[in-house]
Amino acid sequence: MNAPRSLVGSAALALLALGVYIGLWASPPDAFQRDYVRIMYVHVPSVSVAYLSFAIVCVTSILFLWKRQAIYDQLAHSAAELGVLFTGLALATGSIWGKAVWGTWWTWDARLVTTAILFLVYIGYLLVRELAEEPARGARLAAVVGIIGFLDVPIIHYSVVWFRTLHQPASITRGDIKLAPPMLAALMINLLAFGLLYAYLLMARLRLERLEAARLRLASEGDP
Amino acid sequence: MTAATAISAAYGLVLVALLVYVRRLRHRLRRLETEDQEQTPRSAGSAIAP
């Protein structure tokens, strides 16, 4: 196995175990939400790596359309798949948290709706690639979807400021942290753990993408 | 919904989803890496063959 990838994977696993321990047992309950707040330690990191993923899709898609190098497209495809996975997890954990504290699995709230749109846009991105008859055309079309789809990320982020929403505003903003230090530490450890896990998954997914491209190349060279 | 149920559901869901994804990814990687290793000597051999 690839040594740096393996190292990152092991570090991610160790930090995730620590993050789960701190999130479930060592961090204190919230004054209002009590133990329900522990869902934050998986919900917020899931959303954060999803944002990071779609930022990578946007940048690499621009680079792909500009330079037409396969590596940018492979990176964009890998990051998009991971972004969909983590957005799905963020929506699911948010829904459980919502049922527990708001009393409903889903509400037509600006933050929730814009996140669901992001999820659907990048499922569309994956479908465009999958269903394209000509892979090169599919990659170009998907790159356009990947760039346009990213416009939704700042809308999601500021939706709690621009609209009247049920979703709470950001707990950490520039110069203002509305979290107690032990809870902030627990959140930071989990953010780091998810970040490392994401790095491991991206390296593995990119390797897979490159191997699949090599196999397709070999197959097309073998065709008469 | 009790806190224990909500927390178990959220953490359980994340854990299961990540485990399934990692398992699937590693399985596909192993299969393609094996194929790649099988192909490499064959193509190198064909390149030096008369």
Residue with tokens 């193509």: B43
pTM equals 0.91
Answer with the residue of higher pLDDT: B47 or B17: B17
Using one digit for the tens of pLDDT, what is the confidence trace for A4-15? 899 999 999 999
Interface check B36 vs A, CB under 8 A: yes
Alpha helix (H) ranges present in A36-69?
A: 40-67
Are B13 and A88 an interchain contact pair (Cβ–Cβ within 8 Å)?
Answer: no
Q: Are the C-beta atoms of residues A23 and A42 closer than 8 Å to each other?
A: yes
Distances in whole angstroms, Cα of residue A198 to Cα of each of A81, A103, B34 = 11, 32, 25
Q: How many contacts, defined by CB atoms under 8 Å, are there between A and B?
A: 70
Which pLDDT band, with edges at 50, 70 and 90, does A224 fall under? low
Q: Are the C-beta atoms of residues A190 and A39 closer than 8 Å to each other?
A: no
A 10 A CB-CB count for A140 gives 17
For residue A58, which of A127, A134, A159, A154 has the smallest C-alpha distance?
A154
Are A36 and B33 an interchain contact pair (Cβ–Cβ within 8 Å)?
Answer: no
Are B29 and A96 an interchain contact pair (Cβ–Cβ within 8 Å)?
Answer: no
Which pLDDT band, with edges at 50, 70 and 90, does A166 fall under? confident
Question: What's the pLDDT at A105?
Answer: 95
Q: How many Å apart are CA A95 and CA B20, to the nearest integer? A: 21
* Tokens read off for A139: 């990659």
Average the pLDDT over each of A159-168, A193-202, B5-14 and give the range with the smallest value: A159-168
Phi-psi region of A103 (alpha: psi -120 to 50; beta: other; left: phi over 0): left
Strand partners, A30: A34
Extract the runs of DSSP E, i.e. beta strands, from A108-197: 172-173, 176-177
Cα A189–Cα A193–Cα A196 angle in degrees, nearest 5: 140
In sign, the C-alpha dihedral spanning A11, A13, A17, A23 is positive
Question: What's the pLDDT at A178?
Answer: 77
CA–CA min distance A137, chain B (Å): 25
CA–CA min distance A157, chain B (Å): 22
Q: How many Å apart are CA A35 and CA A37, to the nearest integer? A: 5
Are A85 and B17 an interchain contact pair (Cβ–Cβ within 8 Å)?
Answer: yes
CA–CA min distance B7, chain A (Å): 6
Are B1 and A43 an interchain contact pair (Cβ–Cβ within 8 Å)?
Answer: no
β pairing state of A176-177 and A172-173: antiparallel
Of A24, A93, A97, the CB nearest to B14: A93
B42: number of CA atoms within 13 Å, CB side?
8
In sign, the C-alpha dihedral spanning A15, A17, A22, A24 is positive
Backbone angles phi, psi at A2, to 5 degrees: -60, 125
Of A93, A100, A215, the CB nearest to B32: A215
Of B10, B32, B43, the CB nearest to A208: B32
Using one digit for the tens of pLDDT, what is the confidence trace for A57-115? 999 999 999 999 999 999 999 999 999 999 999 999 999 999 999 999 999 999 999 99
Are B7 and A38 an interchain contact pair (Cβ–Cβ within 8 Å)?
Answer: yes
Distances in whole angstroms, Cα of residue B36 to Cα of each of A5, A124, A217, A220, B8 = 19, 31, 12, 15, 41
Which pLDDT band, with edges at 50, 70 and 90, does B43 fall under? low
| Three-state DSSP state, A28 | coil
Are B9 and A96 an interchain contact pair (Cβ–Cβ within 8 Å)?
Answer: yes
Question: What's the pLDDT at B49?
Answer: 47
Q: Are the C-beta atoms of residues A122 and A80 closer than 8 Å to each other?
A: yes
Strand partners, A177: A172
**Chain A residue nearest residue B26, CA to CA:** A204
All residues of chain B having their beta carbon less than 8 Å from the beta carbon of residue A99 are 1, 6
Question: Over chain A, what is the mean pLDDT?
Answer: 92
Using one digit for the tens of pLDDT, what is the confidence trace for A205-219? 999 999 999 888 888
Residue B42 clears pLDDT 60, i.e. is over it: no
pLDDT, mean of residues A159-185: 81
